[in-house]
Amino acid sequence: MYLLTGSGNLYSTVRDLLTWDQALYTETVLTQPTLHETYQHATLNDGNETAYGLGWRLGEVNGLRTIGHSGSINGFTTQLHRFIDQQYTVIVLVNNPRLFAGELAWQIREIYLSEQMK
């Protein structure tokens, strides 16, 4: 079976990513102070903040704090968005070049979090 792997020969499944996500709500992998640090915007040498923390893209969607990351290569797209205050995560892996994981993730967020969004 042919497996397309990411950088460093990394590959994963939705179940793997969900296991990782759930572990981040406990101190199984990282302590809470360390995890909190990963959720802070990185500061550049010139003093400007970036949209990234330590490995996470940080933002807000309709008033809800989000932490996530996406990726794509050769027709494969991924999206992982964590709404940590709601303990809700959207994970989408797509292997169809006509579909975009980010758009599917947005639709899923709208369905499940519409009442909580501003």
Question: Residue 117 pLDDT more than 50?
Answer: yes
Model pLDDT, residue 93: 92
Torsion of CA 90, 92, 98, 102, to 10 degrees: 40
pLDDT, tens only, 14-70:
999 999 999 999 989 999 999 889 999 999 999 999 999 988 999 998 889 999 999
- Choose among 9, 15, 17, 3: nearest CA to 70: 17
The rounded distance, in Å, linking the Cα atoms of 35 and 26 is 10
Model pLDDT, residue 118: 65
pLDDT band at 108 (very low <50, low <70, confident <90, very high): very high
Model pLDDT, residue 52: 92
pTM: 0.82
Question: Residue 99 pLDDT more than 70?
Answer: yes
Question: Residue 7 pLDDT more than 80?
Answer: no
Q: Is residue 83 within a helix (H) or strand (E), and if so which, with residue range?
A: strand 76-83
Residue 79: exposure state from Cβ atoms within 10 A (0-12, 13-18, ≥19): buried
Model pLDDT, residue 1: 47
Question: Residue 5 pLDDT more than 70?
Answer: no
- DSSP, collapsed to helix, strand or coil, labels residue 108 as helix
The rounded distance, in Å, linking the Cα atoms of 62 and 28 is 30
Give residue limits of the domains in the chain: 10-40+47-113
Give how far Cα 107 sits from Cα of 17, 91, 100, 103, Å.
19, 12, 11, 6
